[in-house]
Structure 1
Amino acid sequence: MPLLPEHLLAGHDTFMAGRYAQEQSRYRSLAHEGQAPETLMIACCDSRAAPETIFDAAPGELFVIRNVANLVPPYQPDSDFHGTSAAIEFAVVGLGVRNIVILGHGRCGGIKAALAKDDEPLSEADFIGRWMSLVDEPAHGVKTMEHMTAGERQTALERISIRYSVANLRTFPYVAEREGRGELSIYGAWFDISTGELWAMDGETGDFRRPAVDRPPSAGG
Structure 2
Amino acid sequence: MEKSKPLPNYLVQRFYGWRATTFADNKAWYRRLAESGQHPRAMVISCCDSRVHVTSIFGADEGEFFIHRNIASLVPAYSPDGEPHGTSAAVEYAVQALKVAHIVVLGHSNCGGVKGCHDMCSGHAPELEDRSSFVGRWMDILRPGYERVRDLPDERRIEALEKEAVLVSLSNLMTFPFVREAVESDRLTLHGLWTHIGEGGLEQFVPAQGAFVPV
Question: Do both share a fold (TM > 0.5)?
Answer: yes
Q: Partner of 1:119 in structure 2?
A: 125
User: In 1, are the aligned partners of 2:131 and 2:137 still within 8 Å (CA)?
Assistant: no
- Per the alignment, residue 74 of structure 2 pairs with 71
- Give unmatched runs, 5+ long, in structure 1: 212-221
SS of aligned partner of 1:102? strand
Residue 2 of structure 1, CA deviation? 6.5
Partner amino acid for 1:84? T
**What amino acid maps onto 1:93 in structure 2?**
Q
2:77/2:176 contact within 8 Å kept: yes
Q: 2:154 aligns with which of 126, 141, 148?
A: 148
Cross-structure match for 2:191:
187
Aligned mates of 2:204, 2:143 — CA distance in 1: 23
1:135 aligns with 2:142: yes
Superimposed CA distance per residue, residues 116-148 of structure 1 (whole angstroms, 9 cap, x where no aligned partner): 013143787211110001111221342332x33
SS at match of 1:115: helix
1:29-62, Cα deviation, whole Å (9 max, x unpaired):
0101100001000000000002112111100000
Cα shift at 1:197: 1.2
Contact (CA 8 Å) 2:47, 2:73: kept in 1 or not? yes
Give the TM-score, by structure 1 length: 0.89
Aligned residue in 2 for 1:83 = 86
Deviations 1:77-117 (A, max 9, x none): 11111000001000100000000000001000100001001
Deviating more after overlay: 198-207 vs 108-117:
198-207
Match of 1:214?
Answer: none
Percentage of matched positions with identical amino acids: 38
Rounded Cα–Cα distance in structure 2 between residues aligned with 1:114 and 1:127: 12
Q: Does the aligned pair in 2 maintain the 1:43–1:102 contact within 8 Å? A: yes
Whichever residue aligns with residue 188 of structure 1, its letter is: G
Structure 2 gap segments, 5+ residues each: none
CA contact (8 A) 1:163 1:206 kept: no
Q: Measure the CA separation in 2 of the matches of 1:185 and 1:97.
A: 9
Letter in 1 for 2:133: D
Superposition CA RMSD, Å: 1.7
User: Which amino acid is the alignment partner of residue 133 of structure 1?
Assistant: D
Q: Residues 1-221 of structure 1: matches in 2 within 5 Å? A: 3-117=6-120, 118-121=124-127, 125-145=132-152, 147-149=153-155, 152-211=156-215
Q: Give the TM-score of the pair, scaled to structure 2.
A: 0.91
Q: 1:155 is aligned with what amino acid?
A: E
Label 1:207 to 1:36 Cα distance change in 2 as closer, same or farther (>3 A).
same
| Structure 1 contact 26–59 (Cα < 8 Å) conserved | no
Give the count of matched residue pairs.
Answer: 208
